[in-house]
Amino acid sequence: MARVDVLREARTGEVGEAQLCLHWCRYRDGGSITYGYRFVWRRAKDGSIQAARGQARIPSFERAESLMKEAAKEGWGNRDAAELEAAAERLRKLGYKVDLASGYVGLPYKQSECRDKLSQQGIEDALLIQQWTH
């Protein structure tokens, strides 16, 4: 069973009532790490997440859109899991160690021959990984 780490959250509704949420998450399943968005409900009673086996009833497009706009306003609504994976792969091809679970990007050892090969794209990829995995 996959474990989910919620990294960012936007909510609709008031405290004390059920709240629809949009999450940016890290999914950990065995040795596999992936990222993505999900919609979930928080219970009115205690604010805990209501498990729904991959489904969250969204009452209107407007509610979903308001959560997405809130995420964009907060600076995390532009994240793309495929872009994150592509950045990690480009860095690995250059010889860098990339750990998507922690957001670590670095050299596998001190005297690495790839030390001076990091291009502007590589710098942008490393920053993207470090920012989007937290």
pLDDT digits (tens, 9 = 90+) for 24-76: 999 999 889 999 999 999 999 999 998 776 678 899 999 999 999 999 999 99
Domain boundary among the residues 33, 49, 73 is at 73
- The sheet with strand 32-42 has its strands ordered as 3-11, 19-29, 32-42, 49-50
Taking 90 as the threshold, does the pLDDT of residue 2 lie above it? no
For residues 69 and 85, membership in a common domain is answered with no
Cβ atoms of 84 and 101 closer than 8 Å: no
Cβ atoms of 20 and 63 closer than 8 Å: yes
For residues 122 and 92, membership in a common domain is answered with yes
Residues 6-24: tens digit of each pLDDT: 999 999 988 889 999 999 9
For residues 31 and 58, membership in a common domain is answered with yes
3-class DSSP state of 96:
coil
Number of folded domains in the chain?
2
Distance in angstroms (rounded) separating the CA atoms of residues 132 and 35: 9
Taking 60 as the threshold, does the pLDDT of residue 112 lie above it? no
For residues 15 and 64, membership in a common domain is answered with yes
Closest CA to 49 of 70, 88, 23, 85: 23
Of 1-5, 36-40, 98-102, 114-118, which gets the smallest average pLDDT? 114-118
Range of the domain at 112: 81-132
For residues 90 and 32, membership in a common domain is answered with no
